[in-house]
Structure 1
Amino acid sequence: MLLRLPTSVSEAQRYLAQKAVPVGGATLVWATWQRDGFPDQALSLRHVPEANELGRNALGAAVVLHQIDDRVPLVLHWAAASVGTGAVRRAATVGGNLVGSALRCLLPAALVLDARATVLEADRVHEADLGEVVAKRPLLLGLRWREPIASAYRKLPQEAGGRPPFVVAAALHATHGGPDRLRVAVRDGLEVLSGSVARDTDTETVLHDLRRTAIGELPPQSWEVVGEQVTALLNGRTDRPRSHP
């Protein structure tokens, strides 16, 4: 297998046109390749500048999870910090997690940031919503979003090898001329649900409105976790992540 390491978007597109297979951090594809056979060419974006952005409003697809720190909003920082083991976080990339992983641990955080994806194809670079990224699994170049007022993340503990842990992410966004907007996303098993409502001075009203979105389909125990997280966020208690009930 020939590993291609382009240093520009145009060079990466040339290798894509030659049918090079994206490799990401190789934490997910390596076992499959060992079983089914290696491709003739693989493609890593680790040396492409646009795929290595890391800041308050952008995150590149080639960024390794352990590099994600407080330069990004808290919800994304905490989501990355909760993925797997330290060894996994030192190898796994943003693109591999969002596109290659069935768990998509970063997806709830990206959804509440209302992030837009930049997608790389052999003949163009274009913007896509996260639904398209999940459905079509393209080569992700990076994410961009508008910085929220505040955000929060919680991942419940779970027995190893069992059902994926329940995750809730939330972010509060300013709007132009209207009330702030609350975005909430959960991962329940392998399903990701999200909802968005206007902020109200009364937390109970916010939760009532949120129940009318897809989030309201959750069972009572999970909804209780969402309610606690939303209440904490709206009351400014987001100083550290919660990893236990």
Structure 2
Amino acid sequence: MLVRLPTSISEAQECLAEGAVPVGGATLVWATWQRDGFPELAMSLRELPAANAVAPGTLGAAVTLSRVGEEMPEVLRRAASTIGTGAVRRSATVGGNVVGSTLRCLLPAALVLDARATVLEADRVYETDLAEVVAKRPLLLGLRWRDPVVSGYHKDAADAGGPPPFVVGAAVHARGDGRRTLRVAARDGYEVLSESLPYEGDPEDAVRLLERTDFGALPAEARASVRRVVTDVLTRSADA
């Protein structure tokens, strides 16, 4: 298998045009390749500057999970820190988790940040929403968002090899009119749900509104986790 390491967008597009298979940390595909055979040509974005950005409001797809640090919003930082082992986080990438993984542990965090995705194709680079990323699984260059006022995250404990643990994230965003918006997203099994609500200042009112959405159909234990995260985030936002 030949692995190309493009250093520019145009080089990466040439690789795609030649049929190169994108690969990040290979934590998700290595076992499959060992079983089914390796592709003739692969491409890693680890040398591409646009895919390695780590800055306020920006995170490249080739960034490993271990590099998602203090400069990132709490919800994203905590989500990354709970994925796999330390060894996995030093190899697995943001793009591999959001696009390649069936669990998509970072997706709820990205949803509550209202993140937009920058996508690379052989003939263009464009920005799209996370729904298209999940549906079409394109080659992700990175994520961009506007930092929230505050955010929070919770992941249930789970046994290795068992069903996916329940995950919930929340964030409060400032609006241009001086008001605020609460965004909440959760992963229940392999399903991801999200909601955006106006926030008027009372956590209990926000929780009651959320219960009238699909979140109200979650199991009791999951709803309790959502309540704790939402209440915590809204309480902290009152001082921010």
Normalising by the smaller structure, the TM-score range is over 0.9
> Which is further off, 43-52 or 193-202?
193-202
Answer whether contact 1:185 1:215 (CA < 8 A) is retained: no
Tell me how large the CA RMSD over aligned residues is: 1.0
* Paired position in structure 2 for 1:234: 234
Listed as ranges, the gaps of 5+ residues in structure 1 are 238-245
Q: Secondary structure at the match of 2:88?
A: helix
Tell me if 1:55 matches 2:55.
Answer: yes
* Paired position in structure 2 for 1:126: 126
* Paired position in structure 2 for 1:241: none
* Paired position in structure 2 for 1:29: 29
Q: Structure 1 residue 56: deviation in Å?
A: 1.5
For 2:215 and 2:17, the matched residues in 1 are separated by 41
* Paired position in structure 2 for 1:186: 186
* Paired position in structure 1 for 2:174: 174
For 2:161 and 2:35, the matched residues in 1 are separated by 22
TM-score norm. by structure 1 comes to 0.95
Q: Structure 1 residue 178: deviation in Å?
A: 4.9
Q: Secondary structure at the match of 1:235?
A: helix
Percent of counterpart pairs with the same letter? 63
For 1:86 and 1:28, the matched residues in 2 are separated by 15
Tell me if 1:196 matches 2:187.
Answer: no
Q: Structure 1 residue 163: deviation in Å?
A: 1.0
Could you list the per-position Cα deviations for residues 77-112 of structure 1 after superposition, in whole angstroms to 9, with x for gaps in the alignment? 110000000010000000000111111010000000
Tell me if 1:73 matches 2:78.
Answer: no
**What letter is aligned with 1:226?**
V
Tell me if 1:160 matches 2:163.
Answer: no
* Paired position in structure 1 for 2:208: 208
Q: Structure 1 residue 67: deviation in Å?
A: 0.7
Answer whether contact 1:196 1:213 (CA < 8 A) is retained: no
TM-score norm. by structure 2 comes to 0.97
- Number of residue pairs aligned between Structure 1 and Structure 2: 237
For 1:122 and 1:152, the matched residues in 2 are separated by 37
For 2:195 and 2:159, the matched residues in 1 are separated by 28
Q: Structure 1 residue 40: deviation in Å?
A: 1.0
* Paired position in structure 2 for 1:243: none
* Paired position in structure 2 for 1:41: 41
Tell me if 1:103 matches 2:96.
Answer: no
Q: Structure 1 residue 212: deviation in Å?
A: 2.4
Tell me if 1:223 matches 2:223.
Answer: yes
